[in-house]
Amino acid sequence: MIRRTIFYFVLFFQLANAETYWVRYGWEIFANAGDGRSLALGNTLTASGGGAIGPLFNPALDPGISEFGLTYAHQSRFAGLINSDLGAFSLSNSLRWPIGIIVLHEGISNIADTRNILLDFGEDGQPGTGDAGEGDGILNDGERLDESNAVSFNHRQLAVMATKNWTAGKMKFGLGIKGLHHSLGQNLGTGFGLNVGFLYRLWNGSALGINLSDVSSSWIVWDNGSIEASAPQAAVGFYQQITSERIPVSVGLAADLLIDPSGETPDDDFQILDKAGADIRWGLETTVKEKVSVRLGRNRSKAYTAGLGLRWTFAAIDYAFQTAPAGSALGTSHFISFSVNPEWIMERIKTIL
């Protein structure tokens, strides 16, 4: 007991004296993740979805609502610059409360480090003479760049999120606990965060969802003693499904309002709540005979998305395509995911054994 008290006291003392920075994008691995269906819909799943991937967008969504309890997704974004992987599955305990587990990995290789390529020797090109321009960090006349001093490094992120939800009438409440590990060159960082979600069933085929991410002001503690803190953000979503008794076609319409209280940016769709940034994302899904789905969307980066989904009784395959974000030349992105019914896998294993 005494050792534990001393440990927490030392930890609190170190955190209290560490230098803290407020950042916008420390937890982007969660914001950019998804499977083929969600990414084709612009990740507009705050009020829709379900299945193993659902709690990523709102922990109130039930991870066990779909028979496809296992999902794997791979992303190749910005012409292959960034590669990401996602694994999601659901569990149930004796009380039949669904528990969702989502594991994420993202990597960027061969990032150029050009901080040491400037031979900052001043106008005479000789080191240590103290002439004009020496050591000012600017490429002046008489100075040059030495590309042989350039090195490369890698960036890796590994994240996990565990979610659980409870039902009270038409209302669902969900809680998501997430952890993050950064590896940036020789530097390491570890973080912790908390998401809270609500889902309310309105009339037939419609729902209203709210996801509050980083409600605990999520933290990333780096090995150099600095701390990155992320302010809470909110997403309010609406979903409506339209079905017909005459033809085997259903249409799903989804829209999200994203609110960032950190302040407005030039890329915001508009500003609300005393200059808080706000963006809109939307998705449209048409499904024929519950087998083939065609999807369109717009995500928070103002990039337009499209995709196709194929569904069988035991598995589903989803593909998504994303244009380059507005105002950028980062290239197109491609996504593919596979979902499988665990019971079907177990039956195949029993058959083999």
In 54-68, which positions are buried (b, 16+ CB within 10 angstroms) versus exposed (e)?
Answer: bbbbbbbbbbbebbb
Q: Report residue 83 as tokens.
A: 């590669």
6 pLDDT band (50/70/90 cuts)?
Answer: very low
Instruction: Give which of 213, 210, 283, 276 is closest to 252, Cα–Cα.
Output: 283
Instruction: Give which of 153, 152, 133 is closest to 143, Cα–Cα.
Output: 133
Whether 129 contacts 105, CB under 8 Å = no
SS3 sequence of 159-177 = EEEEEEEEEECCEEEEEEE
pLDDT value of residue 327: 61
Query: What does the alpha-carbon distance between residue 216 and residue 196 come to, in Å, rounded to a whole number?
Result: 10
In 295-326, which positions are buried (b, 16+ CB within 10 angstroms) versus exposed (e)?
Answer: bbbbbbbbbbbbbbbebeeebbebbbbbbbbe
Instruction: Give which of 296, 304, 346, 308 is closest to 325, Cα–Cα.
Output: 304
Query: What does the alpha-carbon distance between residue 331 and residue 219 come to, in Å, rounded to a whole number?
Result: 31
pLDDT value of residue 329: 64
The model's pTM: 0.79
Whether 193 contacts 214, CB under 8 Å = yes
Neighbouring-strand partners of residue 243: 250
Which residues lie closer than 8 Å to 1 by C-beta, 6 or more apart? none
Mean pLDDT, residues 5-21 taken together: 51
Mean pLDDT, residues 229-246 taken together: 90
Backbone angle region of 276, left / alpha / beta, with phi > 0 → left and psi within -120 to 50 → alpha: beta
pLDDT at 112 over 60: yes
pLDDT at 8 over 50: no
Query: What does the alpha-carbon distance between residue 24 and residue 279 come to, in Å, rounded to a whole number?
Result: 15
Among 151-165, 176-190, 310-324, 326-340, the minimum mean pLDDT is found in 326-340
pLDDT at 56 over 80: yes
pLDDT value of residue 97: 60
User: Integer distance in angstroms from the first to the last C-alpha of the chain?
Assistant: 50
pLDDT value of residue 13: 43
Mean pLDDT, residues 304-308 taken together: 95
pLDDT value of residue 14: 46
Query: What does the alpha-carbon distance between residue 152 and residue 145 come to, in Å, rounded to a whole number?
Result: 16
pLDDT at 75 over 90: no
pLDDT value of residue 184: 82
Average pLDDT, the chain: 81
Q: How many residues does the chain have?
A: 353
pLDDT value of residue 9: 45
Mean pLDDT, residues 71-89 taken together: 81
pLDDT at 256 over 70: yes
More confident position, 102 or 271:
102
pLDDT at 284 over 60: yes
pLDDT value of residue 290: 86
41 pLDDT band (50/70/90 cuts)?
Answer: very high
Domains and their CATH numbers in the chain = 21-114+150-352 (2.40.160.60), 115-149 (no CATH)
